[in-house]
Amino acid sequence: MDSILQSLEGPVFSTIRPYITPYTSTLPPSIQKPLLNLLTPICYNNLIRDFDPASNPQCVQYAISKAIGLGIVTLSTIVKVPQLIKLLSSQSSKGLSFLSYLLETTAFLCTLAYNFRSGNPFSTYGEIAMIAVQNVLISTLILQYSGKGGWGAVWVAALAAAGYALFNEGIVSPDIMVYLQAATIPLGLASKVPQIIEVARQKSTGQLSAFAIFNYLFGSLARVFTTLSEVNDPLILWGFLGGAALNTVLAAQMVYYWNSGKKGGKSPNTPSKKFYAGGKSPKPKGDPKKRS
């Protein structure tokens, strides 16, 4: 990073600096204040006001991390919408594992409470809240379409009670919260396993959304970068690393089984049948037998 920025200083940064600093140094408060809060005063002065990124590469990395984090949070608002649409249009939960969503949503709830109570920047975990809401909707639909709709209300009520306890320090102490966050690592990893097994068993991705799977993969990889840049917490980092590994497996399954079930071909062991007008097949052509 340092060498790249230094190589750009002469031909790029120093050339355009005199033209943009008159504007960046006099930004109105409505723009300046959000940027100050987002980048910190030191990085704001370095990157925006003075436009001198080569002098502080750490600020460049921090700004990239912030941009990626905000992008992930924004995209997370729709990441599972295609999955919801597929469920509602097909009214089938084939290829989807409720246990997978149960484990993942539970892990998300603990991670959300842990980050919030730790005071971590929202851009480093905000997508968890967005995806958790979508997970609740999807898991409830899975119960509905698998003939267990009555359990949906129980599921939502249990999540609400757990959320109230996790965000309340009077119920769940900070020490216990640390243990719960540590537990989300195996829990989050285990949440992927039932879905991987379900896809392998069905030999089809069924109603699984490719958009959601690949966005999960790219998002988890990006989260490794943002966690390294902004959050000095090995518990959170290892969770994202493990999630990225299993998301890679799901993405590989999505590619492998991409056309499974889409082609209406017959099994190779099934003889083909032909139908003819009148219900009779024509007599085979050939030389008539000679009469003796």
Q: Are 95 and 146 a contacting pair, CB within 8 Å? A: no
pLDDT digits (tens, 9 = 90+) for 40-81: 889 988 989 888 888 888 888 888 888 888 887 887 778 888
Q: What is the pLDDT along the chain (292 residues), one digit of tens a residue?
A: 677 877 777 678 888 888 888 888 888 888 888 888 888 889 988 989 888 888 888 888 888 888 888 887 887 778 888 888 888 998 888 878 898 899 889 999 999 999 999 888 887 788 888 889 999 999 999 999 988 888 989 999 999 999 999 999 999 999 999 999 888 888 878 888 888 888 888 888 777 778 878 887 888 888 888 888 787 788 778 888 888 888 899 889 888 888 765 544 444 444 444 444 445 555 555 555 544 4
170-201 tens-digit pLDDT: 999 999 999 998 888 888 788 888 888 888 88
> What is the rounded CA–CA span in Å between residue 55 and residue 5?
8
Question: What kind and span of H or E run contains 102?
Answer: helix 98-118
